[in-house]
A and B are shown apart, each in its own frame.
Chain A
Amino acid sequence: MTKVSMRINGEQVNADVDGAQLLAYFLRDKLNLTGTHIGCDTSQCGACVVHLNGRAVKSCTMLAAQADGADITTIEGIQKNGELHPVQRAFQQHHALQCGFCTPGMIMAAVDIIENTNDLDEHSVREQLEGNICRCTGYQNIIAAILSAAKEMRG
């Protein structure tokens, strides 16, 4: 067992984990943070995206032990005082989800994109969403939601 200690959604978490425990399963099974989804076995779908020190990573392709000392944010951690995050609101307004399975990963990826890319346009959003697969929407409304949230967040 390996001792890990990290901040998850603002709270300090200390635990003993198996070396082979993946961060996605640690979040879901040990901490009950089931908003983080697991959609594939090949590191390609992005349903499991969380933020590690502010940047989007695939939690299914990272050991919990690798995240020791990190600041982690999951989909459960982005609302403030019971208010949805602007990206969550934009997804709702633009009908950017159907089954919703990809949505947590899409939103976490989107927040990173908006916070860390200059000059966002449709093309760059599509390029930055390379690591997130949606089987339902055809992406059109996801792109519209991200561009609209970006406008709101940047004022």
Chain B
Amino acid sequence: MYPFTYHRASSIEQAQALLDVSDDSKLLAGGQTLIPTLKQHLASPGALVDIGKIEALRFVRVEKASVVVGAATPHAQVAGDGKLAQKIPALAHLAGKIGDPHVRNVGTLGGSIANNDPAADYPAACLALGATIQTDKRNISADDFFTGLFETALEEHEIITEISFPVPKLAAYEKFPNPASRYALAGVFVAQTEAGVRVAVTGAGVNGVFRMTEMESALANNWSADALEGISPSADSLLSDLHGAADYRAHLVNVMAKRAVAQTC
């Protein structure tokens, strides 16, 4: 790793002040993405501001119509929270399938969506459930938040503080994990929300997570796996790499979507 200065923040305000000291400082949450990146010399921040210990960012709060999760809440806490699992079982299931137990004990929701890896799981949940991402400056809807490959609407030094997930009527997530990394080769989150049926696809898109409107209208008419017969994204819009060709991913998206819907029927 290139050398950097380490700062520990004990509040969101202090984190903001520490970030603003220099242009090349970066937030550190669980480090499960950032530290591997630093080890490979793919980033060289001058300073890291650790927000992993800020208690105000580590919580699960179940409200009447939504579940709110603090940005620095580890995946294992989301997966293991009984009240959350009652309200949105698909979200608990998704968190419990991220990486492996050691990664889940440390990696956080905020870090995952800030990074917006095209193969990450949480972006699919945020987009399908119509989540709201709250930062120290404003609220951003999931529809506006994920803007491209590893790109988000976050501005320089903006800190995600919490994510609010509206409770859906019904939802499920299925992924086909890469057998080595456990990241999604294709993952599909389906939901019946107050705002209608929403389907989000991760792992496959060239621009990261995306909504699959053709599946949404088919499911709005007929909520069944059969309704999805023959509906896949165009291979032109999908990733093709050593883990899987675009047409293979297109097929997987259809299969994962059917499995997700079948789970709820």
Interfacial residues, chain A to chain B (CB-CB below 8 A): 2, 18-20, 22, 41-44, 46, 49, 52, 55-58, 61-63, 65-66, 68-69, 109, 112-113, 128, 130-132
Please, how many angstroms separate the alpha-carbon atoms of A49 and B2 in the complex? 24
Whether, in the assembled complex, B221 has its beta carbon less than 8 Å from a beta carbon of chain A, the answer is no
Whether, in the assembled complex, B230 has its beta carbon less than 8 Å from a beta carbon of chain A, the answer is no
Interface contact B3-A56, CB-CB below 8 Å? no
- B27-59: CB near A (< 8 Å → 1, else 0) gives 010011001101110000000101011000000
Interface contact A46-B35, CB-CB below 8 Å? no
Interface contact B6-A62, CB-CB below 8 Å? no
Interface contact A19-B101, CB-CB below 8 Å? no
10 contacts between A and B (CB under 8 A): A19-B4, A20-B2, A20-B3, A22-B35, A41-B40, A61-B35, A62-B106, A65-B8, A69-B53, A131-B101
Known: A2-B6, A56-B105, A63-B28. 5 other contacts (CB 8 A): A2-B8, A43-B35, A63-B31, A63-B50, A109-B101
Please, how many angstroms separate the alpha-carbon atoms of A130 and B6 in the complex? 31
Closest to A20 in B: B1
Please, how many angstroms separate the alpha-carbon atoms of A20 and B106 in the complex? 18
User: Knowing A18-B3, A62-B106 touch, does A43 contact B52 (C-beta < 8 A)?
Assistant: no
Interface contact B4-A56, CB-CB below 8 Å? no
Closest to B180 in A: A44
Q: How many Å from the CB of A16 to the closest CB on chain B?
A: 12
Interface contact B36-A19, CB-CB below 8 Å? no
Q: How many Å from the CB of B231 to the closest CB on chain A?
A: 31
Interface contact B31-A62, CB-CB below 8 Å? yes
Whether, in the assembled complex, B86 has its beta carbon less than 8 Å from a beta carbon of chain A, the answer is no
10 closest pairs, A vs B, by CB? A131-B100, A19-B6, A130-B100, A20-B1, A55-B105, A131-B102, A65-B6, A58-B102, A43-B36, A61-B35
Interface contact A44-B5, CB-CB below 8 Å? no
Q: How many Å from the CB of A81 to the closest CB on chain B?
A: 29
Closest to A48 in B: B102
User: Knowing A42-B36, A62-B31, A128-B101 touch, does A57 contact B6 (C-beta < 8 A)?
Assistant: no
| A61 contact set on B, CB distance < 8 A | 31-32, 35-36, 106
Q: How many Å from the CB of B115 to the closest CB on chain A?
A: 14
Closest to B50 in A: A66
Closest to B76 in A: A55
Whether, in the assembled complex, B259 has its beta carbon less than 8 Å from a beta carbon of chain A, the answer is no
- B96-129: CB near A (< 8 Å → 1, else 0) gives 0001111101100000000000000000000000
| B28 contact set on A, CB distance < 8 A | 63, 66
| A109 contact set on B, CB distance < 8 A | 101-102
Q: How many Å from the CB of A90 to the closest CB on chain B?
A: 19
Counting chain B CB atoms within 10 Å of each CB, which of A63, A69, A113 scores highest?
A63
Interface contact A65-B38, CB-CB below 8 Å? no
Closest to A69 in B: B53
| B100 contact set on A, CB distance < 8 A | 46, 130-132
Please, how many angstroms separate the alpha-carbon atoms of A118 and B215 in the complex? 38
| A63 contact set on B, CB distance < 8 A | 6, 28, 31, 35, 50
